Every structure is written in structure tokens, then in C-alpha cells.
Amino acid sequence: MSETVSVKIGKSKHSVPKGKSLFQFLSEQNWNKNPVAAKFNGQMVDLDVPLSQDAQIQLVYPGSEEALEILRHSAAHLLAHAVLTLFPETQIGVGPAVEDGFYYDFLRETPFSQDDLSDIEEKMRELSQEDIPIRKKVFSKDQAIRLFKEKGQQLKEELIQEKGPQSVTCYQQGDFIDFCLGPHVPSTGYVQHFKLLSVSGAYWKGEEGGKQLQRIYGTAFFTRKELKKHLVHLEEAKKRDHRKLGPQLDLFSFNEDLGAGLILWHPKGGRVRRIIEDYWREEHLKDGYEILYSPHIAKLDVWRRSGHTEFYEAMYPPILSEDVEYQLKPMNCPFHIMVYNSSQRSYRDLPFRWAELGTVYRYERSGVLHGLLRVRGFTQDDAHIFCRADQLEEEIKKAISLAMRVLNTFGFSDFDIFLSTRPEKYVGKAEDWEKATQSLKKALLDKGLEYRIDEGEGVFYGPKIDIKIKDALKRSWQCTTIQLDFNLAERFDITYVGEDGNFHRPFLIHRALLGSMERFFGILIEHYKGSFPVWLAPVQIMIVPIADRHNDYAHTLDQKFKENKLRSCVDARREKVGYKIRDAETKKTPLILIVGDKEVKEGSASLRIHTQGDKGEVQVEDFLEKLLEIVKNRDMSVNLEEVYHQKT
């Protein structure tokens, strides 16, 4: 009698011959729900796993994030399989699943062309239709090294030498084999709905100066409908790309002579930034903050004391001046702490809320730079709060309220909120961590906000709240961070004199609302597709005279609007009126006023609203009154019908 094991799947319990694979067992049971993987006593495994012990099985089905990640990882292998079939001289690197898709890195002298991508995708479809079984193989480290050496795959050989354990896991499909931990779908036939998207450069192991590889990106889904929806989403994202819209709308530019990751703000972009910053200052002053300014550099010793030289890699080399080493600042924190330490503080003084729009500099590798979203010089909307333990919860609530108010004003109301707790390695006392974490939790609960716990994902110096906004395409962007710090308080010996006459350590809260001016501006451009709400638009009103004889009236209106602090402009070029209107639409000007003989005579204008067309004649005084009200209220409405009155 053969030995059996007990296997529980859902509510049903089965006695299965020991060693039989889960896939084989499900096939014999005519299991028709089509799982892609399973959790075997809590561990994610392939369906090919042998049932060698009693187990609680949780099947993983399409529709879950876990299943999608497995599918995309298998799609990356399918990509590498296709490339080696078509271009056998190619060296293969690594190919993980990533957010929204997958990629694989290749070492090849000839760059992949668009035609190559089409051929590779077609070969992937052929391999998918063959429905080749995907099987896990285990080798000794020496065997695995010999295997890939014989195949001429030096990159894989190098990876196994560096990272491979004594038992090396590989996955094989037909004549293709890859060093990989898995898990994978049961066969290539599961990978049907995919698309190769682009090819870019990458460094081997991410090290600049290393081998230059070609990275092919793709995406994959379980259904054709999901894939089609995602591709439409990608096309819409391309139309919103701030790297194209920014220069097109004359908001900002890049210049190779200036250096990578450094932004030139143009007058129109500068106007929008000033509006954002003025509003930011206004809200902070309302909430009891004081505004600080700090230098762009400091002695290197400051950064040694703060721990940045020890823990923070993205710092530029020191600058030597008169035998003293200075450092471009990557953070504003030490400066605010020095302001605090410039006087002895009493418990009666606390809390201090200090904010700064501080420009910082961080060395980001060229491969990760991305328009305004990842740069080397940027302005943080930074703040630090120094408070007593009994004030901590209230200060966190106030910071959350301010964040929500500011983000709502810019048109963001959909959020993902995360609370990151104490990691394995941390500084400070465990009881302080617990008190701080409970204060963060209670503040979120009191504000009625749903959140997820990121267990152990706090940074070593304190727990934090992260608020991610969702844009018009439902993409998630990290903006607000409220973070407690037990590290700098110790390193800089921050104290206050308590009611008992003794010295006590205040709680230090780091806090950013928008993240950085550059990144937030990029998010705004993509969220609104460059069509800013009227209160934010760099040019709010374009006045278009029909003929030269209407120019004086147009300039009179322009002057009137400017006196009321509105951003208007006159297009007095000797072009056809239709051309000037199209140009204003292309520049995404929210409001266009056309003036001719009738309008001059009646003191009116013909209104056109961007993307909404002609709205007829408006009386200038009525139009001005309504527009001022919208700007004052910072109305984010896309529908601007309320800015005009039809003449009766």
C-alpha cells in the first residue's frame, strides 16, 4: 500500500499518494477553476510542487495581484526564450515582473530595432501556442555554473557565482532554461495576452560603468480585455507626459549644457510655481507655522553628525574651500535643528512649527532621472515640528488636516494611506516607537481615514505616514510624508526644560505635503493634461482682437484684468482670427475673449472656453466679477460655464 499525505484545499480534505504533484492531482480531480500557482503551508509555489507532506493548500487564481505578478514573471522568461531563439548569440541578464508589466535585460552588440521587437513578439506568440510545460529544476551550484558556461551565458554564470546558494533553482521550458527562484505558471500557454512596449539602455547590476545592456519592456494580462484597456491607458498617459507638454507649453526645459537632472523654469512655469508657493505659504501661516530660510551648503561635519555621510549615498562630493570641506545639502533637517538649538527652549514654548521651501541637491544616477519626477536639484516643501509627548497626537492630526486641505485644493481627493512601523534595525527606545506609532494610528482613526499597515517598513529613525494621491488616470503618486525621528534628536542633543526643571527630549516630526515643487508640478501637468484650472493657469485669459482697429479696446480690457491681478494677454498679431483662436487653444488657455466692432460698441466680448467652444457674448463687468470669485475660491472645476452670463 502506497504512503499518502493529507492535503486540505479550501474546505475539502484529500488523501493523496505521497510525491504526486499538485498539478497532476488537480488534473485527476478535473479541477476546472484554472489556478496558476498555490500557497503550500503559506509559501508561494508552482503547481508542479510534489505533495511530499501534509499540507494546507491555498490556490492562487487569475484576478489576484499575486497571480498577475507570476504571469508577468513567466512572460519575461517567454521574452528571453524568444530572443535566444531568434538571436542565439545574445547574453541574457535578469527579467523580473515590475509594476504594470515586466522587462528582460540583454547583452548584444547590435541594438534591437522596432522590427526586431515585432519579430520577438511574434515568436513569443508561437512559443505560447506550443503550450510548453514550465518545470522547476534543482542543481548543485557547480552543476549550474557548468550548465550556463556550456551555453555561453556568462552573465548567468556570474550571477550564480555571486548569489547562487549550494542548491540552485532553475526553470526550464523546452530548450530554454533560466536561473530563477520562481514561481511560474504551469506552461507557456498561460501567457497569451501580452505586448512588447519599448527598449532602453540599462547597466549590468545597475552599476554605472558596467556592461551596457538593452532592456526590453512589456506588459501582460490574463485577458485580452485587460490588455486592451491597459494599452489605451498607456496611450492616454503618453498624451499627458509632462516631459512633452512642459516644453510644448513653454513651462520648463532641459539643457545638456546645464547638466542632467537640472530644470530651467520658464516664465509661464515660474508663474504657476509662484501661485503654488504663495498658496503653500498662506496655508502654513494660517496653521501656525513660521517660515525659515537656510543655506544651500554646510560644513561636511554637519552631515557627519546628522549621519548622512554614513547612511545616505545620494550626496555630491564635498567642496573644498580654504581647507574646509563643505557639502551641498541633500536635506534641510540639520538647519532647522540648529535654529532650535540656538536658544534654550522651555516646555511652554512648544510646539514649534517651522517650514521651508528649501532647495536640495542629490546625486541620482542618470538612468533613473525622469523629467521633473526624478531630478538632481529640487525644492522640498519641508517642515519640522518640535513638540512634547502630550502634544504629539494633536500635531499629527493638524499635519494630516493641512495635507488633506492642500491636496484637495489642487484637485486630489483619492488617496492611498500607509502607516509604516518599526523595522528590525532601529534607533531610539522601543517604548518611544510604540507611543509614536499609536499616536499615528489614533490620528488617522480620529480623522476617519482608511489606511494600510506596512509592517516593519518604517525607516530606522522612526515610524511614518505616507499619503499617496491618485491622478486622473488612477496612478498613485507619493506626496505627503509625516515622519517621526528619534535619530537626529539624539545626534544633535535636542532638549527642552520641562515643568519639572529637568531636560527632556522633544519629539521631532519631519513633514512634507507636496514632496517637491518640481515633482508636484510634473504630477499636476499630467493630471490636468496641461489644461490647468483657471486659478492655476499661467495665462488665464487670451484677448483676440479681430482687426487692428480693435487693438485699443483689447489692451483696455487687458489692463483692467491686470489691475485685478488676473493673468491676461492680447494677441495683436496680424493673423487671421481663426488662427489666433486655434493657437490659444493649443496653448490650453482656459478663457478666450474675441472682440470686434459689436463688442467695442457694447463694452462686451465673445467668450470661448478651452475644450468647450463658443459661449456667446458676455458683459465684461459680469465676466470679471464671476472670474474673480472663481480665482479667489480656487475653484478646480473643469466646467467653466459659471464664468459667463448670456446677454439678455
Which residues are tagged catalytic? 333, 362, 380, 382, 384, 464, 510
Count of other CB atoms within 10 angstroms of residue 103: 24
Grid cell 489692451 is found at 555
Instruction: Please tell me the distance from the alpha carbon of residue 224 to that of residue 240, in angstroms, as a whole number.
Output: 25
Tell me the one-letter amino acid at 401.
S
Q: Are 590 and 534 in contact (CB under 8 A)?
A: yes
Q: For 82, list phi and psi in degrees, rounded to 5.
A: -65, -40
Q: Calculate the CA dihedral of residues 312, 314, 317, 321 and round it to 10 degrees.
A: -70
Cα→Cα distances 242→234, 270, 367, 373, 528, Å: 14, 15, 18, 9, 10
The grid coordinates of residue 13 equal 480534505
To the nearest 5 percent, what fractions of the chain are helix, strand and coil? 35, 30, 35
Tell me the one-letter amino acid at 623.
F
Q: Are 7 and 13 in contact (CB under 8 A)?
A: yes
Tell me the one-letter amino acid at 245.
L
DSSP 425-469: S--S-HHHHHHHHHHHHHHHHHTT---EEETT-SBTTB-EEEEEE
Instruction: Please tell me the distance from the alpha carbon of residue 462 to that of residue 510, in angstroms, as a whole number.
Output: 10
182 Rama class: left (phi>0) / alpha (psi -120 to 50) / beta: left
Count of other CB atoms within 10 angstroms of residue 392: 23
Greatest Cα pair distance in the chain: 105
- Spell out a b/e string for 231-243, using b for 16 or more CB atoms within 10 Å of the CB, else e: eeeeeeeeebbbb
Q: Is 483 helix (H, G, I), strand (E, B) or coil?
A: strand
Grid cell 480531480 is found at 29
Q: Are 596 and 570 in contact (CB under 8 A)?
A: no
Count of other CB atoms within 10 angstroms of residue 163: 9
Q: Calculate the CA dihedral of residues 210, 211, 214, 219 and round it to 10 degrees.
A: -50
Q: Can you list the positions of beta strands (E) in 18-82?
A: 37-40, 43-45, 55-60
Cα→Cα distances 143→135, 138, 161, 296, 444, Å: 17, 9, 11, 55, 54
Instruction: Please tell me the distance from the alpha carbon of residue 457 to that of residue 421, in angstroms, as a whole number.
Output: 6
Q: Are 202 and 105 in contact (CB under 8 A)?
A: yes
Q: Are 203 and 367 in contact (CB under 8 A)?
A: yes
Instruction: Please tell me the distance from the alpha carbon of residue 260 to that of residue 256, in angstroms, as a whole number.
Output: 6
Grid cell 499630467 is found at 526
Q: What is the DSSP letter of 109?
A: S
Q: Are 409 and 634 in contact (CB under 8 A)?
A: yes
